[in-house]
């Protein structure tokens, strides 16, 4: 995704404003089972969701990866990112090499054993019109998880929808084939509007109650600063959807929904944390939805498009449990389910 000069200035101003704002609340805690945690994301958020799923496979029960490449694809080198996005003709990511790298990290105790993946569920999506992360890269993601041990019945790869680079909703956003901000589009699949949030959550958790049309809960702004130092590029404020049932004491699951580049709240307002459909499904199924945020940064770390780290701009351990963004998100999850 490339920024125009005007968009760059606006994004920078938005990031500066967000950085100066005070995050209103401490991240709350609820009752829940951390082993029912799941993750999903678009684009750089999809790469991050894959990293979290692999690194914390003993605990995270499933992932939704929308237009993202395989775990550790860039191997810590920004020069590899074009290959990992399918942008280099005749050169595809090699998922077998990435499985080997993950096995090495697991042997050193830096991530969980890949054996845990046989119990996890993974949803993968690639639009046929995606010009940003092309299908050859997402094909490698599906192969990675298959090679890493996810059973065929637990792996769902949706790759025939004529979508561009976007998260898909039944009715909100751009036309289906768009490759443009806010990187949310509406598409038809099998004769009806495609509800990607519902498809992801139901693949991971099984049949769920229908989504509500009127939300009972609320969106909470919380302070990310205790979890994320400046070197993380993470924003001071994150977002959380809390169903009323969870606030009232029900035991709730956690789903982490991770925005893509140019998709943070500073860039697109509430589009990701209010309009992607997750909250409607969460409300009727006792799921707290965590929307962590990364900011645009023109200093160190250099992150001009507000992407999650999937190539090493925060350090060589970016895909391990010790990675600064990985550790921040996981500590947020632990906090969310800390109430006895």
Q: Which residues are catalytic?
A: 43, 130, 165
Q: Helices H, strands E: what count in the chain?
A: 11, 12
The whole-angstrom distance between residue 189's C-alpha and the CA centroid of its chain comes to: 22
Q: Is 307 in contact with 72 (CB distance < 8 Å)? A: no
Nearest to 45 by CA among 66, 61, 60: 66
Q: Is 271 in contact with 184 (CB distance < 8 Å)? A: yes
Residue with tokens 């701009």: 313
CA distance to 77, 88, 145, 318, per residue, from 110 (Å): 19, 31, 18, 11
d(C-alpha 261, C-alpha 258), whole Å:
10
E strands of 170-235, at which residues? 184-186, 188-189, 192-193, 218-223
d(C-alpha 339, C-alpha 25), whole Å:
17
CB burial of 245-278 (b: ≥16 within 10 Å; e: otherwise) equals: bbbeeeebbbbbbbbbbbbbbbbbeebbbbbbbb
Nearest to 222 by CA among 19, 28, 79: 28
Show Cβ contacts of residue 207 under 8 Å, excluding neighbours closer than 6 positions. Answer: none
Contacts of 6-13 with C-beta under 8 Å, sequence gap 24+, read 8/304, 11/262, 11/266, 11/267, 11/296, 11/306, 12/296, 12/298
């Amino acid at each position: 995704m490339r920024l125009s000069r005007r968009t760059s200035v606006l994004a920078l101003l938005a990031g500066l404003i967000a950085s100066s704002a005070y995050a209103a609340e401490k991240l709350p805690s609820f009752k829940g089972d951390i082993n029912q945690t799941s993750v999903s994301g678009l684009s750089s958020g999809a790469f991050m969701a894959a990293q979290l799923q692999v690194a914390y496979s003993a605990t995270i029960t499933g992932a939704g990866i929308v237009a993202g490449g395989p775990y550790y694809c860039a191997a810590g080198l920004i020069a590899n990112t074009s290959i990992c996005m399918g942008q280099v003709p005749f050169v595809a990511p090699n998922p077998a090499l990435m499985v080997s790298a993950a096995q090495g990290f697991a042997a050193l105790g830096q991530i969980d054993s890949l054996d845990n993946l046989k119990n996890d569920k993974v949803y993968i999506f690639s639009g046929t019109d995606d010009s940003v992360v092309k299908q050859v890269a997402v094909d490698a993601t599906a192969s990675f998880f298959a090679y890493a041990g996810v059973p065929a019945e637990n792996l769902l790869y949706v790759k025939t929808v004529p979508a561009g680079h976007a998260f898909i909703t039944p009715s909100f956003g751009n036309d289906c084939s768009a490759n443009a901000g806010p990187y949310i589009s509406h598409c038809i699949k099998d004769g009806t509007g495609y509800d990607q949030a519902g498809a992801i959550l139901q693949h991971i958790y099984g049949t769920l109650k229908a989504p509500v049309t009127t939300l009972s809960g609320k969106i909470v702004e919380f302070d990310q600063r205790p979890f994320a130092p400046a070197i993380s590029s993470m924003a001071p404020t994150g977002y959380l959807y809390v169903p009323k049932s969870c606030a009232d004491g029900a035991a709730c699951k956690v789903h982490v929904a991770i925005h893509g580049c140019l998709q943070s709240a500073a860039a697109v307002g509430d589009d990701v944390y209010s309009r992607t459909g997750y909250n409607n499904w969460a409300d009727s199924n006792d799921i707290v939805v965590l929307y962590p945020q990364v900011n645009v940064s023109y200093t160190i770390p250099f992150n001009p498009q507000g992407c999650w780290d999937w190539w090493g701009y925060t350090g060589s351990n970016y895909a391990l449990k010790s990675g600064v963004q990985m550790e921040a998100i996981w500590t947020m999850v632990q906090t969310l389910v800390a109430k006895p």
